Amino acid sequence: MLKPSYKPLDITLIKRDKNKTYLRNKLGISSSTLANMSNGKFVAMSVLAKICEDLQCRIEEVVEFIEVDNEEE
């Protein structure tokens, strides 16, 4: 089973000297959405597109999919 990992976003934010508070304040991304991302849950594609547009990056620099066992769910 595939699960999203937002570790690439953390790296991209560091490279651009930004943080998740920036995403919340500038882009209007809710705290609950950011929490879902921190917990490796799926978020709306529109949120990912908004992040990519603002950071001027590709989606691969925001999210990747990792293989997990069903027991890890």
Q: What is the pLDDT of residue 67?
A: 94
Give kind and range of the element (H or E) at residue 64: strand 64-67
Alpha helices, DSSP H only, in the chain? 7-15, 20-27, 31-38, 45-55
**Confidence (pTM):** 0.89
Domain ranges of the chain: 2-72
- How far apart, in whole angstroms, are the C-alpha atoms of residue 36 and residue 49? 16
Q: What is the pLDDT of residue 72?
A: 55
Q: Please state which of the four CATH numbers 1.10.3720.10, 3.40.50.2000, 3.40.50.720, 1.10.260.40 is assigned to the domain occupying 2-72.
A: 1.10.260.40
pLDDT, one tens digit per residue, over 19-63 is 999 999 999 999 999 999 999 999 999 999 999 999 999 999 999
- How far apart, in whole angstroms, are the C-alpha atoms of residue 48 and residue 1? 21
Q: What is the pLDDT of residue 69?
A: 86
Tokens 């953390």, residue?
Answer: 10
pLDDT, one tens digit per residue, over 12-31 is 999 999 999 999 999 999 99
